Amino acid sequence: MAKLQQQHSNTAGWAPPSVQKRWLLTLLIMLSVSTLIAFFIKSAFDSCDPPHPHNFDVAASNKPAKVFSNSIKTAPSPLSFMKSKLVLLVSHELSLSGGPLLLMELAFLLRSVGTEVFWITIQKPSETDEVVYSLEQKMLVRGVQVLSAKGQEAIDTAFKADLVVLNTAVAGKWLDAVLKENVPRVLPKVLWWIHEMRGHYFKLDYVKHLPLVGGAMIDSHVTAEYWKNRTQERLRIKMPETYVVHLGNSKELMEVAEDSVAKRVLREHIRESLGVRDEDILFAIINSVSRGKGQDLFLRSFYESLQIIQVKKLKVPSMHAVIVGSDMSAQTKFETELRNYVMQKNIQDRVHFINKTLTVAPYLAAIDVLVQNSQARGECFGRITIEAMAFQLPVLGTAAGGTTEIVVNGTTGLLHSVGKEGVTPLAKNIVKLATHVERRLTMGKRGYERVREMFLEHHMAHRIASVLKEVLRKSKSHPHS
Ligand SMILES: *[C@@H]1O[C@H](CO)[C@@H](O)[C@H](O)[C@H]1NC(C)=O
Ligand SMILES: *[C@@H]1O[C@H](CO)[C@@H](O)[C@H](O)[C@H]1NC(C)=O
Ligand SMILES: *[C@@H]1O[C@H](CO)[C@@H](O)[C@H](O)[C@H]1NC(C)=O
């Protein structure tokens, strides 16, 4: 493996065809091997899922980081002012879920400008865990210093640090448990990065120190608004200065998305494995299978769209629904319900269940439309949405949460409402995109342009940089430091 990384690490963006073929081959090999998690570092962020050690989210679009890490960009990083600063990152857990992987992205961005970065994981499995081990190795290789969550070293580092980033609401437990009476001394330099929007996070236990931290960073305006309302109404506490930071696509993802050869090969490979033809139209949800992500309602819409097409005798290519994110062992009841529905409606040959995977790029290359059907308050952000747009895919999304800040209704996709009321509108939108090829392609292109304008890694780095600057400035002027 080390060899493969070596071979490819110097590949330039315009790599000659032979080199491109080589890494394509590598990617294809990796597609069929699931244990190579050590490669998969960059991740999409699929928020709003309760952090759970085994709930790693398929929207996490991980790519073989090294294979594509070949850009020779010279523009100075907006984070360069962080050089030789000391930052402590506190993660509630270390897993392949969106939260921790996003924090790791920040760790690597900071390392790349020469920041001294320390990492603490609060909850670790007691037995040796392969995932934890390989992620820690990955960090050590990149010069991130991994500390034990408790003990004097953790406390000393928190004192010394210019900035402490707490990742997710639950990470708040660490403050009292470890810093004890020293909490007030550290609070002004704490930046709290929040990615969740569920009721059970509104516990004073977790978030009572929120009002006094240096700042909160939240993935979308709706989520920030929600936190503001809920902390006030439910807990009677006030949010600190809050910054909305939309996420961005990694360079690695963009490189695959913008490589037409790669896309074509991946598309053919996946379509062949699904047994669908090049001209068939694929609508996909890429999210861990659970009621909150709305796969059940999507299947109902899909079935309804088939009926509309039949009744109206519309001429369209064969349509398929792809559900990437299946995990029979985790959501057995819901999964069974989905499969029963498919059997009952006799659409087995049109619905494809794919096990959850960290490699979403091949699926994005293979499908025609992304469906983002998250229910209730929707996604906090929904990184898969911007990843799909990078692949020039239109998005059919629920008008909720972060999706409304990413998708421009009517331009880069079409929105429908959450719940049962959304089933028929989504069915009609499916028919619309199936019958209007030109419109579908134009929407995809507009989505791509929107990503280039505001959802790239450097956009995210700029947004994060201005938040870090602000929090540093304020904490410096604070009497405690
Ligand atoms: C927050 O509260 C305001 C006023 O009560 C309301 O208009 C708004 O919809 C709420 N926002 C969220 C996200 O709950
Ligand atoms: C998908 O996961 C199930 C267990 O949840 C397993 O039995 C099955 O073999 C997996 N399928 C593939 C194609 O890996
Ligand atoms: C989205 O736009 C369509 C028209 O293109 C409109 O009919 C629909 O109500 C809009 N949906 C939302 C949620 O704004």
Same domain, yes or no, for 347 and 399? Answer: yes
For the Cβ of 355 lying below 6 angstroms from any atom of ligand 2, the answer is yes
pLDDT of residue 131: 86
State the 10-residue block means of pLDDT for the chain, 481 residues long. 33 43 57 37 38 35 38 74 97 87 94 97 84 92 94 95 95 92 95 86 87 96 94 92 96 95 96 97 95 97 98 96 92 94 98 92 97 95 96 98 97 98 98 97 98 96 97 81 45
For the Cβ of 332 lying below 6 angstroms from any atom of ligand 2, the answer is no
Among the bound ligands, name the one nearest to the CA of residue 220: 1
Among the bound ligands, name the one nearest to the CA of residue 417: 3
pLDDT of residue 205: 87
Q: Confirm whether 223 is domain-assigned.
A: yes
Domain carrying residue 362: 253-455
Among the bound ligands, name the one nearest to the CA of residue 415: 3
pLDDT of residue 365: 98
Same domain, yes or no, for 334 and 435? Answer: yes
Same domain, yes or no, for 98 and 220? Answer: yes
Q: Confirm whether 154 is domain-assigned.
A: yes
Same domain, yes or no, for 449 and 470? Answer: no
pLDDT of residue 346: 97
For the Cβ of 225 lying below 6 angstroms from any atom of ligand 1, the answer is yes
Same domain, yes or no, for 263 and 122? Answer: no
Same domain, yes or no, for 359 and 294? Answer: yes
pTM for the full model? 0.85
pLDDT of residue 479: 60
Same domain, yes or no, for 191 and 262? Answer: no
Same domain, yes or no, for 19 and 136? Answer: no
Q: Confirm whether 481 is domain-assigned.
A: no
What is the number of structural domains in the chain? Answer: 3
Same domain, yes or no, for 186 and 267? Answer: no
For the Cβ of 176 lying below 6 angstroms from any atom of ligand 1, the answer is no
pLDDT of residue 303: 98
For the Cβ of 415 lying below 6 angstroms from any atom of ligand 3, the answer is yes
Q: Confirm whether 110 is domain-assigned.
A: yes
Q: Confirm whether 174 is domain-assigned.
A: yes
Same domain, yes or no, for 195 and 53? Answer: yes
**Secondary structure (H, E, C), the chain:** CHHHHHHHCCCCCCCCHHHHHHHHHHHHHHHCCCCCHHHECCCCCCCCCCCCCCCCCCCCCCCEHHHHCCCCCCCCCCCHHHCCCEEEEEEEECCCCHHHHHHHHHHHHHHCCCCEEEEEEEECCCCCCHHHHHHHHHHHHCCCEEECCCCHHHHHHHHHCCEEEEECHHHHHHHHHHHHHHHHHHHHHEEEEECCCCHHHCCHHHHCCHHHCCEEEECCHHHHHHHHHHHHHHHCCCCCCEEECCCCECHHHHHHHCCHHHHHHHHHHHHHHHCCCCCCEEEEEECCCCHHHCHHHHHHHHHHHHHHHHHCCCCCCCEEEEEEEECCCCCHHHHHHHHHHHHHCCCCCCEEEEECCCCCHHHHHHCCEEEECCCCCCCCCCHHHHHHHHCCCCEEEECCCCHHHHCCECCCEEEECCCHHHHHHHHHHHHHHHHCHHHHHHHHHHHHHHHHHHCEHHHHHHHHHHHHHHHHHHHHCCCCC
Mutate to test the pocket of ligand 2, among 56, 324, 328, 339 (most ligand atoms within 8 A of CB): 328
pLDDT of residue 46: 41
Q: Confirm whether 447 is domain-assigned.
A: yes
Same domain, yes or no, for 333 and 374? Answer: yes
Same domain, yes or no, for 294 and 437? Answer: yes
Q: Confirm whether 54 is domain-assigned.
A: yes
CATH for 328: 3.40.50.2000
